Amino acid sequence: MQVLSNTVNNYLVLASILFAIGVMGVLVRRNIIIIFMSIELMLNAINLLLVAFSVFHNDASGQVFVFFIMAVAAAEVTVGLAILVMIYRNTGSVDINSLNKLKW
């Protein structure tokens, strides 16, 4: 049990680091593609934790949540990239500052 607990702690540390890198990517970067990748990194950190706790508690519900998160992430990427392609065609840039025209 002690070895399994240490393993979960390692997953917690790894997921925290991945999530922090994703948050920094969203807050600091100006490129929309990198912001999308940072969001995916945060979702994968959450998925890692769900799977680790699912294995630790011997309950498959965490893995079911991971499946739903992955489906939502795939839909988000599909719609987001379509919007990004349209923005790039209209503005010629993927810089988030070029979207100031969308404000009221």
Q: What is the pTM of this model?
A: 0.82
DSSP, residue by residue, 52-89: HHHHHHT-THHHHHHHHHHHHHHHHHHHHHHHHHHHHH
Q: Which of 1-5, 46-50, 60-64, 86-90 has the lowest mean pLDDT?
A: 1-5
pLDDT in tens, 54-102: 999 988 888 899 999 999 989 988 998 998 899 889 888 888 887 777 7
CA quadruple 90, 98, 33, 10: dihedral, nearest 10: -160
Distance CA 85, CA 63 (A): 33
Residue type, 48: L
